[in-house]
Structure 1
Amino acid sequence: MQARTGQERTGIFFGWQVVAAAFVIAVFSWGLNFYGPSVYLHALHAREGWSPSLISAAITLHFLASGALVTRLPALHRRFGLVAVTRAGMLACAAGALAWGHAAAPWHMVPAALLTALGWALTSGVAINAMVAPWFDRRRGAALSMAFNGASLGGVLFTPLWAVLIGAFGFAGASACLALLVALASWPIAGRWLGRVPADLGLHPDGAATPPPPRPAAAPAGPLWRQPCFRSLSLAFALGLVAQMGLLTTLFSLLAPVLGEAGAGGAMSLATACAVVGRTVVGTALPPGLDRRFAGSANFLLQATGCALLAAAPGSAPALLAGVLLFGLGIGNLLSLPPLIAQAEWPAGQVTAVLALLTAVNQGFYAFGPALFGSAMAGWGPVAPPALAMALQLAAAALLLTGRRPAAGRASG
């Protein structure tokens, strides 16, 4: 007797099960590789006494090396398959966290950073899109927003979990616990849900009865970096992410004098919750015919408005909270909008390569965001970080629109 598929057993389109698997992978990946470095900095400074600048240099290496490695991800998927690459990536994440936790000399941070860089490259945004995209066409925005919400949950869950485990077992013991959790949980998840495409189960994207019509987008000519549409897309989101990373690094220090440490922590949690709300709203309510670059530009303007409030009234608690709310609503869309723009503007076979190079450019920029904003705050005071973020986001909003292709060259929906 032929084995029944997961959809036949549950009545749920298998694509949504893949989204759930991608959600969990995102929780693990962002928990260790995006939110983890701030924990590594604090824990190693407290345990070893190394200077924050030295540890920050290793963290910068983590992001820069990951940006270089991620450009190879489409080729790795073609050669080894999504399951094997995802498993290798999660094992690298786990091994890297373990190496950070057991670093006993400054040079030990270099192999730790390279391991987490490899894990981050193989399991971050480009990988999440590769997991979800084959299963959705018309509803890809909603599916990606749900999968990327795992990134936000990674920060909500892993940061306090790190703190609890470090308090109980020390940094080395905490890293061993989380490495074991990630390795053991992600291995079967990848094998069970990431090894199929719709055709394997006799299905079509979105669970439709017929395959989606071919998208009319024509391939822009020449290498990606010579294409104005790619340059504007990559540079706009690179500037937006520099603003986002830099402001988030300094935000607690801006809020604490007015709100207190507990209030500042609560406001940071508010920003994370708003990121989930904003990403979900855009993913589910974006009109199919709307040029997604307009949505991206509006998102940058929303964050710029929040930054303006933070800069204009640094001593007012209501203004600070309103600024955090508006800024937070746009955080998640800097992850989920680029795949939707790429889907509309490039043929399906090029989207993964577009996202890989875009991610490399973004990480090459935002790796320096914390240092840039920290220096601005040290030199010009607490108004400087939100003012700088606002300027970068306004520039990003304008730049994103300069690369719009003619309507005939874009896919709708």
Structure 2
Amino acid sequence: MPPPPRPRIFHGWIVVGAAFAVMFAGFGVGYSFGAFFTELEREFAARRGDLAIVFAISGALYFGLGLASGAAADRWGPRRVAFLGMAIMTVGLVLASRADALWQIYLASGLGIGIGVGFSYVPSLGAVQPWFQRRRAFASGIAIAGIGAGTLVIPPTAAWLVDGLGWRTSYLVLAAGTLVVGGGGALLLDSRPQRRGLAPDGLPAGPQAAQRATGVDFRTAVRSQPFRLLALAAFLTSFGIFTPFVHLAPAAVDLGATAPMAAALLGIIGAGSILGRFVIGSAADRFGRRQALIGVVAAQAALLLFWSLADRYWMLAAFAGAFGVSYGGYVALMPTLCADFFGARAIGAVMGAVFSGISVGCLLGPPIAGFAFDATGSYAWPVAGCALLTAVAAAASLRLPDPDRWTDRAGGAG
């Protein structure tokens, strides 16, 4: 009996599109907090440090829950876990629209968005990795471009909604979009190409391909030098990655920009990150993912130093675009390097463990920058501190071994 015909579209690309939709909704809504910042500041007479805690809570949970959600996805499948995340996020946004005190925003927006993204990010991104080998960074870049596209579209849209409908109704509109786009994408996730008779990159499944997709177990991975270096770099860069998403828009307002101009900076980061995911991800597949990671982390350090010295709106806009490119490349490269070193056997748990350190930096970085501004009236010193930590992360990345050579010593991890 002849084998069934191969589908015209490799199913791995459908999974990539599903992951794109989940991250578009999750991170796009999460990173739109800057569009609500000024209105919430007025509504609750809050300091910037107090408001930054809202984003810090959610951002910490994005990655602090990665280990648990990744392990759950390895066991029960990414579809169930990611859809649960999108449902929780929807409920949180609805409750935020009814908040009468800042602590309710902490719980509804901070916890609701944080848990929602935390349950969906690692499972959706982890679902992509087993479908690709040769074009893994490119495929991951497309999936993670959902973050950039969401950041490009949703924060400016949220600012327009807040201006026209008020912040409470705007939260309800975002809730509906999250359920439709993010929830719909979650239902299409699948991390088992072998169930369709396929190996990575659409090849027919076979013994050699199955062995390649297995990799090392979680315990072996977390005891290795590459894991420690990747986790350290992720932790150190997290301070500088998340501070702009909270404080770049208020910094622009301080320089005389209007609220729409300030919110546009987040859109510029999103546009730059889309470019970074495609260009850097594709180039990294050809010229080396380790080398690309070193380059983008070093670039982030230099750009944060530039921001600390910026005193014009155009300088913030230039920072936003260039930072978006480096950030986009960075978030595309980290999961692919996890898969390169450790394979797909426990990819969800490994990625979650690497990213768990990010939660600490996200929890501390934006509030520290906010309270430093409250005390000094300037973002210069906290942003320069973020640049220093990111430079140390670049030095840690330099110590990473070559993934192919380390794989050989580890007995076929990738």
Give your verdict on TM over 0.5. Answer: yes
**Cα 1:62/1:315, change in 2 over 3 Å:** closer
The answer to whether residue 161 in structure 2 is matched with residue 138 in structure 1 is no
Residue from 226, 241, 244 that aligns with 2:241: 244
How far apart are 1:101 and its partner, in Å? Answer: 1.6
**Bigger CA drift: 372-381 or 229-238?**
372-381
Residue from 189, 198, 203 that aligns with 1:203: 198
CA distance in 1, matches of 2:403, 2:143: 31
What's the secondary structure of 1:103's corresponding residue? coil
Letter aligned with residue 370 of structure 2? G
Letter aligned with residue 70 of structure 1? G
CA distance in 1, matches of 2:213, 2:75: 28
CA distance in 2, matches of 1:406, 1:146: 22
Alpha carbons 2:141, 2:278 under 8 Å: kept:
yes
Alpha carbons 1:217, 1:345 under 8 Å: kept:
no
**Cα 1:120/1:379, change in 2 over 3 Å:** same
Aligned to 1:105: 101
What are the Cα deviations for residues 358-394 of structure 1, in whole angstroms up to 9, with x where unaligned?
2221112122111223344553845434432332221
CA distance in 2, matches of 1:117, 1:321: 27
Alpha carbons 2:97, 2:169 under 8 Å: kept:
yes
1:286-297 matches, within 5 Å, as 286-288=284-286, 290=288, 292-297=289-294
CA distance in 2, matches of 1:115, 1:136: 32
What's the secondary structure of 1:286's corresponding residue? helix
Aligned to 1:284: 282
The answer to whether residue 12 in structure 2 is matched with residue 15 in structure 1 is yes
Residue from 173, 177, 182 that aligns with 2:173: 177
CA distance in 2, matches of 1:53, 1:39: 16
Alpha carbons 2:52, 2:370 under 8 Å: kept:
no
Could you tell me the TM-score, scaled by structure 1's length?
Answer: 0.84
How far apart are 1:263 and its partner, in Å? Answer: 6.1
What's the secondary structure of 1:332's corresponding residue? helix
Could you tell me the TM-score, scaled by structure 2's length?
Answer: 0.83
Letter aligned with residue 83 of structure 1? R
Letter aligned with residue 400 of structure 1? S
**Cα 1:301/1:67, change in 2 over 3 Å:** closer
CA distance in 2, matches of 1:48, 1:167: 17
How far apart are 1:269 and its partner, in Å? Answer: 3.5
Alpha carbons 1:145, 1:280 under 8 Å: kept:
yes
**Cα 1:379/1:266, change in 2 over 3 Å:** same
Aligned to 2:92: 96
What are the Cα deviations for residues 16-38 of structure 1, in whole angstroms up to 9, with x where unaligned?
12211211111111122x31433
What are the Cα deviations for residues 272-329 of structure 1, in whole angstroms up to 9, with x where unaligned?
3222112211211214573x332211111222333344455x3577766554443332
CA distance in 2, matches of 1:56, 1:320: 20
Aligned to 1:328: 324
CA distance in 2, matches of 1:180, 1:217: 38
CA distance in 2, matches of 1:263, 1:406: 43
What are the Cα deviations for residues 66-99 of structure 1, in whole angstroms up to 9, with x where unaligned?
5443321133224433222222111111011111
**Bigger CA drift: 34-43 or 354-363?**
34-43
Compare relative contact order (CA 8 Å, sep 6+) and give the higher one, 1 or 2.
2
Alpha carbons 1:308, 1:323 under 8 Å: kept:
no
The answer to whether residue 342 in structure 2 is matched with residue 349 in structure 1 is no
Letter aligned with residue 388 of structure 1? G
What's the secondary structure of 1:368's corresponding residue? helix
1:60-209 matches, within 5 Å, as 60-112=56-108, 113-124=110-121, 126-191=122-187, 193-195=188-190, 197-209=192-204
CA distance in 2, matches of 1:309, 1:36: 24
| Aligned-residue identity in percent | 24
CA distance in 2, matches of 1:315, 1:52: 20
User: Structure 1 regions of 5+ residues with no counterpart?
Assistant: none
Coordinate RMSD, CA, aligned: 3.4
Alpha carbons 1:136, 1:206 under 8 Å: kept:
yes
Alpha carbons 1:144, 1:336 under 8 Å: kept:
yes
How far apart are 1:147 and its partner, in Å? Answer: 0.8
CA distance in 2, matches of 1:244, 1:275: 12
Alpha carbons 2:218, 2:349 under 8 Å: kept:
no
